[in-house]
Amino acid sequence: MQTVKRRYREIKSRLQEVVSLGMALPALLGERVTVQQAEDAIRRALDRRHENFLELARARVYERANSPYRKLLEIAGCDFSDLQAQVRRHGLEATLSRLAEEGVYVTSDEFRGRKAIVRGGRSFSVSPGDFGATGSPVGFVVRSSGTSSHPTSSHRTVDELATGTFPVCVLYHAHNLLSHAHAVYDPILPASGGVNNLLHNAQIGIATDRWFARKNPIHNRLEHGYYLLVTYMMVLLGRCFGPGFPRPEFVDGTDMRPIVRWVLQKQAEGKPCCIRTTASNAAKIARGAWEMGTALKGTKFVVSGEPFTESKHEIIERVGASTIPRYSFTGGGNVGLGCANPLHTDEIHVNEHRLALIPHPKPLSANGPAIHPLLCTTLHPSASRVLLNVENGDYATLERRECGCALEKLGLTLHVHHIRSFEKFTSEGMNYFYGDLFELLENALPSEFGGGPGDYQLVEEEDPNGQTRLTLVVHPQVGDVEEQRLLARVQEELGRGSRSNQFQTKIWQAAGTLRVRRAVPHASPRGKILPLHIPR
């Protein structure tokens, strides 16, 4: 009986969410954001960074008795007046760095509720819901793809979507995308990329031409029905109140010809194309065009969701297309936008009007160079989740410079590049932070053994005897390879750098930890293929 009642309450709550969302979306879709409006909104938010942070901290941290951040600040002996004085005297980033040194931060495992927070002799457990907004703001549920961790659910509010359109509008202006034909290649809900991109385009006044979608496997019938209902309700409302909102067209993730044919059709009409998708999918589309013997001249890919590497960049440029990186993560939203005058392939401007980004002052214990995780802090009142020095699972190079592009002229002067995950694999009692394995798996191995980016992947898994193994998965389309030579090449690369690396690689070799398997590398529902896959 209790199970039936709980199920009924869950269904009722989800239906109420759908009704509220359906009532709010027409107004959102009917609004049109101009470049001038977007620029003015970003400048105002930049001018109020310190005040916005303090107001958010007061209302959603110090005035919430169960806030995990309030507990951390209490352990550090920092009340609101102390925080206010520090920010006004030393600035926001300097204050956040000092707080991190004193233990006011949350690791990615703690944020997901996988580990208890232990600081100053105190220990307490949290769940992702402890960081969310109070009340029931209008919106919908999204879920991360869980490429390198457990999938994380979060609530995307209508207010958050509306304010998130401003930086997208400025990005389009900076890269001359407002007159392009637009398409999206992303799954339907619960993945957030597809509907987010379509809603942003609609607010800017862009009629998105096509929505190429991947199927997102959901095993719970209630969830499956909820996500289908919300997706198609958005499509219907987008058609009624927006400039144009396409239905999702499900395509086979191994066959990029429908997308390439759409680009060729638009080229024949004299219209350049813009496709928003993940970096892996952009490289797949470019490879598909290359295999078809055609070019994608003038096409621009706006890519996000995973590291954008030189190898992917070269494949895309080979067919005459170009790329604009974006950086975001579930729970933190849009972190940054691609620089129009970059020095690095994945260089982005941090959206400092929405968040503060600093490197953790304490490096991770890795065998090679020090890894300083990125710590994110939300500043905007529309944020569905409050972040205060929260790790997002990545590290990167941060620098301020004048680049001369439209984003820098707005005041977005903090640049980030070489963004990588600090995931690690463990075997025979040894940890190995994979850092940047992209060069090996996307460039070196393909050039020496055949194939391209996405054809090689390291997988950490257990064999029937319970031993953890590292399996190098090689796509069958690569053809015949000398497995022993291939393994020797991987072992050589993993042993580079410190003596510790060399030592543990020898242990793995003696234990038979490394092996090769011919199979299609694991891809997330969004199509992301990372160099390391750890089944959860």
Query: DSSP secondary-structure letter at 503?
Result: H
Count of CA atoms in the C-beta half-sphere (13 A) of 227: 24
d(CA 186, CA 328): 15
Dihedral (C-alpha) 205, 206, 207, 209: value to the nearest 10 degrees? -170
Nearest CA among 278, 274, 350 for reference residue 308: 278
| Helix/strand/coil percentages in the chain, nearest 5 | 40, 20, 35
Got the DSSP string for 69-112?
HHHHHHHTT--HHHHHHHHHHH-HHHHHHHHHHTT--B-HHHHT
Poorest-pLDDT segment among 414-423, 444-453, 463-472, 518-527: 463-472
Q: What is the mean pLDDT of residues 446-475?
A: 82
Q: Which residues contact 58 (CB under 8 A, 6 or more apart)?
A: 80
Question: What is the percentage of the chain residues whose pLDDT exceeds 70?
Answer: 86
Smallest CA-to-CA distance from 151 within 231, 61, 84, 217 is with 217
pLDDT at residue number 429:
42
CA 280 from centroid of its chain's CA atoms:
13
Q: Which pTM value belongs to this model? A: 0.83
The band of 1, judged by pLDDT with boundaries at 50, 70 and 90, is: low
Assess contact for 505 and 491: CB atoms under 8 A.
Answer: yes
**Residue 147: predicted pLDDT:** 46
Q: Which amino acid is at 249?
A: E
Residue 104: predicted pLDDT: 98
Of 13-22, 244-253, 495-504, which range is least confident?
495-504
The residue among 1 and 139 whose pLDDT is bigger is 139
pLDDT tens column, 92-115: 999 999 999 999 999 988 998 889
Q: How confident is the model at residue 214 (pLDDT cuts 50, 70, 90)?
A: confident
**Amino acid in the structure at residue 9:** R
CA–CA separation, 266 vs 149, rounded Å?
38
The angle that helices 193-204 and 2-30 make with each other, rounded to 10 degrees, is 30
Arithmetic mean of pLDDT, 18-27: 90
Mean pLDDT of the chain: 86
Provide the 10 A C-beta neighbour count for residue 429.
8
> Please, which pLDDT band fits residue 384 given cuts at 50, 70 and 90?
confident
pLDDT at 503 over 60: no
Enter the CATH code of domain 141-330.
Answer: 3.40.50.12780
Q: Which has more confidence, 275 or 310? A: 275
Looking at 11-25, 357-371, 395-409, which range is the least confident one? 357-371
Q: What's the confidence (pLDDT) of residue 435?
A: 53
pLDDT at residue number 502: 60
Question: pLDDT tens, 114-157?
Answer: 899 999 999 999 988 788 766 667 777 776 554 444 556 667 78
| Overall residue count recorded for the chain in this entry | 536
Angle between helix axes 49-57 and 92-101 (nearest 10 degrees) is 40
Report CA-CA distances (Å) from 41 to 159, 161, 300: 14, 14, 26
